[in-house]
Amino acid sequence: MNYLTHLECSMCGKRLEADQLWNLCPDCHKPLLARYDLEKAKWAISPKEIAKREPNLWRYCELLPVRDNRYLLCLGEGFTPLIRANRLSEEMGFERLFIKDEGLNPTGSFKARGLGVAVSRAWELGAKAFSIPSAGNAAGALSAYAALAGIPAHVFMPQDVPHPFIAECRALGAEVTLIDGLITDAGRIAAKGLDGSDHFDMSTLKEPYRLEGKKTMGYEIAEQMDWNLPDVIIYPTGGGTGLIGMWKAFDEMEKLGWIGPKRPRMVTVQAEGCAPIVRAFNEKKEFAEPWHGAATIADGLRVPAAVGDFLILRALRESNGTAIAVTDKELMEAARIIGRTQGLFLCPEAAAPLVAFQYLNRRGWIKNNETVVLFSTGNGLKYTHLWKS
C-alpha cells in the first residue's frame, strides 16, 4: 500500500495521473514531481514501525511510487552507513563530520537508488525497453535493474568514459553505444536514434521516479540521526537529483510529523571545469546557462546543462546554502585524505564535498560546533586510471 496520489509539474503546477508513464510535463517540458497523501500516511506509518524493517530503501515503501510489491526490484540498495568520521574530523580540527557512504550501493554508486525505484515503477506501468544517456554510473545502475526486470536497456555514454563503466553495462546485458561528445550529446543522440521506438527515456529528471529513489537519502539521514537533521549537507552536483530529492524528503517528513521545520543548509559542489550551477547561483539567476567546454576527471559532474537547474538553485537559496567549484587536483588530494584516514576508496566526485567543507570552514561559513554530512556518492574502483602514482 502506498500513498501516491498524482504527479505535479515543478514549474507550471499541472496535475497529471500517476498511473501511466510520463516523461516531462507535456505543457512546459519541466520535471514532474510525485505527490502523496501525507495526511493519510501520517496515521498509517510511523518511524517506530519503519525501524523494524529491512535495511534497504524500500523500508519507506509507502512513500515510494511502486503500488504492487511484485514489481519491487531489490539488489540491496539504500540504507547505507552514515559514518561518524572521527579520524577525518580530527585531521580537519573539527568536531562532527559524517560521511554518507553511497559507494556501498549495488553497482558502486547512489545511482542505484534512483534507477532501482524508477525501473521498478516503469516496469509496473508497462515499459517495454529503456534508454539512458549517462556519464557512467547511471548506465550501470539502469543495466542492473533492467536485467533484474528482464527488460532490454540501451545505454549511451561519452566514448572517453573509463572502461570499467562500459564493461559493467555489457556484463549486465545492456546494449552500449559510445558517443563522440558529452552526456548532453548522448541524450540528444539517444532521443533521435530511438525516436519512434518503444524505449522509455530514463534521463535524469525526465521521468518522475528516479527522484523518488534519491529522496530516500533524506529519509535515511533523518532516521540515522534519530529524526534530527545536520546543520549542513554537502553534495557533489551533476544533474542534481539527490539534492532536489533530499529537499523534497525534508518537506514530506515535516508534513508527516517526523521532523520539525529546521533544515540543513544545502551546499552544491561542482568541478571548476564544469560549474554551471555555481555560476548561476553566484549570478543570482533562476536558470543555469549551459557550460561550454566541460572538462573534469569527475565524470559524474561533467553535466553542462541540467533540466532541474531551477530546482537545485531553489533548494540552495531556500536553505541558505551555497555553491562551490573545486579543482581536479583538490579532488584527488581530498580522496587521498579520506582514503588514509577513513579507509574509504572514493571516486573523485565523492571527494568533492571535503574540499568544499575545508573552504567553507576556513571562511567561517561552517562553524566548529556544527554537524556536517559529506556525501560520498560512489566507490573508487571504476576509476583506477586516476591512481597511476
Ligand X SMILES: *Cc1c(COP(=O)(O)O)cnc(C)c1O
- From candidates 116, 236, 264, 380, binder to ligand X by CB under 6 A: 236
Grid cell 568520521 in the structure block, residue: 85
Residue 208 C-beta: closest distance to ligand X, Å: 15
Cβ proximity to ligand X: between 304 and 378 the closer is 378
Q: In whole angstroms, how close is the CB of 236 to ligand X at the nearest point?
A: 4
Tell me: does residue 239 bind ligand X (CB under 6 A): yes
Amino acid letter, 360: L
Among 56, 120, 131, 241, binds ligand X (CB under 6 A): 241
Q: Residue 240 Cβ, how far from ligand X at the closest point, in Å?
A: 4
Q: Which contiguous run of DSSP H or E holds residue 44?
A: helix 38-44
Ramachandran assignment for 76, one of left (phi > 0), alpha (psi -120 to 50 degrees), beta (any other): left
Burial of residue 285, with CB atoms counted within 10 A of its CB: 0-12 exposed, 13-18 middle, 19 or more buried: middle
Of 230 and 238, the one with the shorter C-beta distance to ligand X is 238
Q: Which of 109, 270, 361, 371 binds ligand X (CB under 6 A)?
A: 109
Q: How many CB atoms lie within 10 A of CB 387?
A: 12
For ligand X, the binding residue among 78, 140, 213, 300 (CB under 6 A) is 300
Q: How far does CA 361 lie from the centroid of its chain?
A: 24
Q: Which amino acid is at 241?
A: T
> What percentage of the chain's residues is helix, strand, coil (to nearest 5)?
45, 20, 40
Q: Please tell me the distance from the alpha carbon of residue 102 to that of residue 109, in angstroms, as a whole number.
A: 6
Among 65, 158, 213, 240, binds ligand X (CB under 6 A): 240
Does the footprint of ligand X cover residue 113 (CB under 6 A)? Answer: no
Kindly state the number of chain residues that form the binding site for ligand X, as judged by CB under 6 A: 17
Tell me if 316 contacts ligand X by CB under 6 A: no
Q: Cβ 237 to ligand X, closest distance in Å?
A: 4
Tell whether residue 212 is a contact of ligand X (CB under 6 A).
no
Helix/strand/coil (H/E/C) assignment for every residue in 23-43: CCCCCCCCCEEEEECHHHHHH
How far apart are the C-alpha atoms of 327 and 329, rounded to whole Å? 5
Tell me if 137 contacts ligand X by CB under 6 A: yes
From 231, 73, 57, 217, select the one nearest 141 (Cα to Cα).
73
The stretch among 79-87, 257-265, 325-333, 345-353 that binds ligand X (CB under 6 A) is 345-353
Q: Which stretch binds ligand X (CB under 6 A): 26-34, 145-153, 217-225, 235-243?
A: 235-243
Binding mask 355-384 for ligand X (x = CB under 6 A): ----------------------xx------
Give residues in contact with ligand X (CB under 6 A).
Answer: 109, 111, 137, 204, 236-242, 300, 347, 349-350, 377-378
